[in-house]
A and B are shown apart, each in its own frame.
Chain A
Amino acid sequence: MKKNILLILRSAPYGSSKARDAIDFILTAAAYDQDIHVVFQSDGVFLLLNNQDPSQIPAKNTSSLISAFEMYDIDNIYCERQSLTERSLSEEQLIIQPVLIEKSTEIQSLIHQADTVLTF
């Protein structure tokens, strides 16, 4: 059975394991052929910043995992415009081209359409 699962990623990479935990779940759910939607919100937008090199921490590069989402047919990826603006980030600095969420009604309808919503 296919469920619409919405993931809201609100945590920056490396400082905590939350984003990694979320990505591991997303890749598993995709392997189980679920209908995955991913929203990057708040500090979660830092996951999308280009030129990350965590090799000296050392930690696994979460941005390369996110770049691979497309390969797993995870195509419904969104990012809150306001979260980018608040953090002085522009679209050009991102590793992928997510759908930009301009209005809160857009995220509300993603939540509305989902069967289950998990935040990390």
Chain B
Amino acid sequence: MNQQKTFSLFISPSAWSSQAHSSALNFAQSALKANHSIYRVFFYSDATLCANNSTVAPQDELNIPLEWVRLAKEHKIDLVTCISAAIKRGILDETEQNRYAAETHNLSEEFSLSGLGQLVDAIIHSDRVISF
């Protein structure tokens, strides 16, 4: 049971209307503590909103996007937001900002925008894919 395994996490609900992100973060921390690795966290649907770099959390609440950034920095985890889900919710990187002549770009530094193929790739390369 001590064998090192590779996990990927798949999250769809919004960080602000569901417990899903807290559960996924707790799971990720426990998995990393047990020396397993996390190949990718794939954010789909409303979960992509947490790739916005301008979220402000109330002082007494956990800043979920910041927690993902912290985890990704510390453990070099690939945080991928579904590009089609993200851009229709106004989450853009500089490339998409230029492509659509949008006013600003706001994708958080640790996140990348990519297609659903990255979820297929995560399924192919992980021992377990856990959906939250």
Bind each other? yes
**Which bracket fits the contact residues of A?**
10 to 19
Q: Shortest beta-carbon distance, B83 to chain A, in Å?
A: 11
Q: Are A28 and B120 in contact (CB under 8 A)?
A: yes
A to B contact number (C-beta, < 8 Å): 35
* B10: A residues at CB distance < 8 A: 118
Distance, CA A24 to CA B123, complexed state (A): 16
Does B131 contact A118, Cβ atoms closer than 8 Å?
Answer: yes
Complexed CA–CA distance, A31 and B120 (Å)? 10
Q: In the bound complex, do residue B117 and residue A17 qualify as a contact, i.e. CB atoms below 8 Å apart?
A: no
Check if A34 is an interface residue, CB within 8 A of chain B.
yes
Name the interface residues of B106-123: CB closer than 8 Å to any CB of A: 115-117, 119-120, 123
B6 within 8 A of A: no
Task: Answer whether residue B45 sits at the interface, using C-beta atoms and an 8 A cutoff.
Answer: yes
Evaluate contact between A3 and B131: CB separation under 8 angstroms. no
Q: Say if the beta carbon of B12 comes within 8 Å of chain A.
A: yes
Q: Are B44 and A21 in contact (CB under 8 A)?
A: yes
User: Among A1, A3, A24, A115, which residue has its beta carbon within 8 angstroms of that of B116?
Assistant: A24
Query: How far, in angstroms, from A114 to B77 measured CA to CA in the complex?
Result: 26
- Asked if A32 and B45 make an inter-chain contact with CB atoms under 8 angstroms apart, the answer reads no
Given A28-B117, A118-B131, A119-B131 in contact, is the A3-B45 Cβ separation under 8 Å?
no
A119 to B120: give the CA distance in the assembly, Å: 15
> Contact: B115 with A28, CB < 8 Å?
yes
Q: Could you write out 9 A-B pairs with CB less than 8 Å apart?
A: A3-B124, A5-B120, A18-B45, A21-B12, A25-B44, A31-B117, A118-B10, A118-B129, A118-B131
Which A residues have a C-beta under 8 Å from some C-beta of B?
Answer: 1, 3, 5, 17-18, 21, 24-25, 28-29, 31-32, 34, 115-116, 118-119
